[in-house]
Amino acid sequence: MPAPPDDRRHQDPGERSSLGNEGFWRLPPDDRREEETKPSDQQSLIFAAIVATLIGATALIGLREKIVRIAPHAAAPYAVVGLPVNIDGLALSDVRSRIEMEGTRKALVVEGEIVNLRRDANLLPPLAIFVRGADGQDKYAWTTRAPKSRLEGGERIAFRARLASPPEDGAEVLVRFARNENEAKAK
């Protein structure tokens, strides 16, 4: 007697057989769409690194005055990239010097302006004035008080200093805030 026909061969592939799925191949579900839309761990790390770098750079720029106050040597890199740091919030402008005759004696007159760069009031330190020779060496130095003890935000004030009998071999005059000179000598 002939063998009974094998029902599995004639069964529709979409139907489930009571015999199980051993004769049919199923494709795995298409997960490619999920993988393409879901960022990988590596992409997340790169994004986090970029965000952290931007936050760090912003902090380095925004807090540069505080950073330089703590670590004064950090002022040089800021200046190199065009972000000079002025810890005092003060600037000297229009500084000029000239020799005036007072009878038969010479006098060096130094004039200029002190500008408060901050929005708030700022204390004024004394001015340190140096007469330098052609060789760049200091020939004479003195300190003078600023015309006021404090400036309001954005305020400017003129200053004038006078030295009787300046050194004959003086070639240039340099004016700085005395507090900066004292801090530089202390370090």
Mean pLDDT, consecutive 10-residue stretches, the chain (187 aa), reads 55 52 61 58 90 91 87 88 87 95 91 94 95 93 94 95 92 87 46
pLDDT the model gives residue 182: 43
Radius of gyration of the chain (CA): 39
Sequence length of the chain is 187
Q: How far is CA 109 from the centre of its chain?
A: 37
Rounded Cα distance between 56 and 51, Å, is: 9
Q: Does residue 53 sit in helix, strand or coil? A: helix
Give the end-to-end CA distance of the chain in Å, rounded to a whole number.
112
Rounded Cα distance between 178 and 184, Å, is: 10
Distances (CA, A) of 2 to 5, 6, 50, 103: 9, 12, 75, 145
pLDDT the model gives residue 181: 46
Those residues whose C-beta lies under 8 Å from the C-beta of residue 19, and which sit 6 or more positions away, are: 7, 8
pLDDT the model gives residue 96: 96
Supply the DSSP string of 160-173, one letter for each residue.
EEEEES--TTEEEE
Rounded Cα distance between 107 and 100, Å, is: 5
pLDDT the model gives residue 158: 96
Return the bridge partners of 106, or none: 101
